């Protein structure tokens, strides 16, 4: 495989809420950036700040030494990876594609093999956190793939967040992210259940949230999500997006013959929450709505 290219220009495909925030941090770190998004209007602020524009994912890859992608799911990554205008068609020997998305582990491994055939390098680099975590400079990044390719882009990854961990071969970072998000969704769902239980008993919901934020369960995710039960003013991930990660865990468990009972229970609650009138809100708010209606706290 070819030697890696000196990093002169960085590309970014997928400029939604999280992608645009990461792209901004890369630019703020002093890197020249070229971007593409299906809806160009979402990139207006970045373009005004000096980001270059490419008309297709392929053009991003052709122009850049390192390309990041941050897309919704496995289907979106595959749609932008393959074909005449896809990323793989534009990769050059020695360039690096780092995918920040959370996708099916098997797909990530297959993409690594396809990219290797071009002489380029593929890294699965899923992130853990939210736009709030990103804005606070506390995003974490996990990396799977060629160790030399990781070493090559490590400082660039630190522009995204201070906590960067090399996990192992292609696919292993995605597997780790699936495990982390399984735990995240289960814990947040359990929090909604617990708050509803004591609210039904007459305890003030705002007081419960305040106490929880001062207790041993005040993890980072509870820290920024719990206040949404009092003031629903932010959407970090809606129920459909968050359930995708549980489905990945369930599919992996079926394939491996492993048990994930709490994952399955949480996924059932998220399925119910998809029918909530608040399904477009953060998934904690949607799940809490289901629990509260079932308990008769609200009607």
The one catalytic residue among 40, 177, 214, 244: 177
Q: Is 107 helix (H, G, I), strand (E, B) or coil?
A: helix
3-state helix, strand, coil in the chain (%, to 5): 55, 15, 30
Give catalytic status of residue 177 as yes or no. Answer: yes
Distance of CA 20 to the CA centre of its chain: 13
- Write the DSSP assignment of 137-186 as a string of letters: T--EEEEES-HHHHHHHHHHHHHH-SEEEEEESTTHHHHHHHHHHHHHHH
Give the number of other Cβ atoms within 10 Å of residue 179's Cβ: 13
DSSP E strands, the chain: 9-13, 32-36, 52-53, 66-69, 96-99, 121-124, 127-128, 140-144, 163-168
How many whole angstroms separate alpha carbon 180 and alpha carbon 178? 5
- Please, which residues bridge with residue 99 across strands? 69, 124
Q: How many CA atoms lie within 13 A of 58 on its CB side?
A: 8
Q: What are the catalytic residues? A: 177
């Amino acid at each position: 495989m070819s030697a890696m290219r000196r990093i002169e220009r960085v590309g970014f495909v997928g400029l939604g809420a999280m992608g645009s925030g990461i792209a901004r941090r890369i630019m703020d770190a002093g890197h020249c950036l070229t971007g593409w998004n299906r809806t160009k209007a979402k990139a207006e602020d970045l373009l005004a700040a000096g980001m270059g524009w490419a008309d297709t994912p392929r053009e991003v890859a052709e122009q850049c030494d390192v390309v990041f992608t941050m897309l919704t799911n496995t289907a979106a990554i595959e749609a932008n990876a393959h074909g005449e205008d896809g990323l793989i068609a534009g990769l050059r020997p020695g360039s690096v594609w780092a995918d920040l998305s959370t996708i099916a582990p098997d797909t990530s491994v297959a993409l690594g093999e396809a990219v290797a055939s071009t002489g380029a390098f593929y890294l699965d680099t899923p992130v853990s956190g939210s736009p709030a975590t990103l804005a606070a400079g506390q995003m974490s990044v996990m990396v799977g793939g060629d160790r030399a390719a990781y070493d090559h882009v490590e400082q660039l990854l630190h522009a995204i967040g201070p906590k960067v961990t090399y996990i192992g071969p292609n696919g292993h970072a995605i597997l780790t992210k699936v495990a982390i998000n399984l735990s995240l969704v289960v814990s947040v769902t359990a929090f909604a259940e617990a708050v509803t239980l004591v609210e039904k008993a007459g305890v003030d919901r705002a007081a419960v949230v305040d106490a929880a934020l001062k207790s041993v369960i005040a993890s980072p995710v509870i820290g920024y999500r719990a206040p949404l039960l009092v003031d629903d003013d932010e959407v970090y991930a809606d129920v459909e997006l968050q359930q995708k990660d549980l489905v990945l865990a369930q599919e992996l468990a079926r394939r491996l013959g492993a048990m994930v009972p709490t994952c399955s229970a949480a996924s059932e609650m998220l399925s119910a929450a998809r029918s909530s009138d608040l399904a477009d809100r953060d998934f904690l708010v949607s799940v809490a709505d289901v629990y509260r209606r079932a308990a008769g706290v609200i009607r």
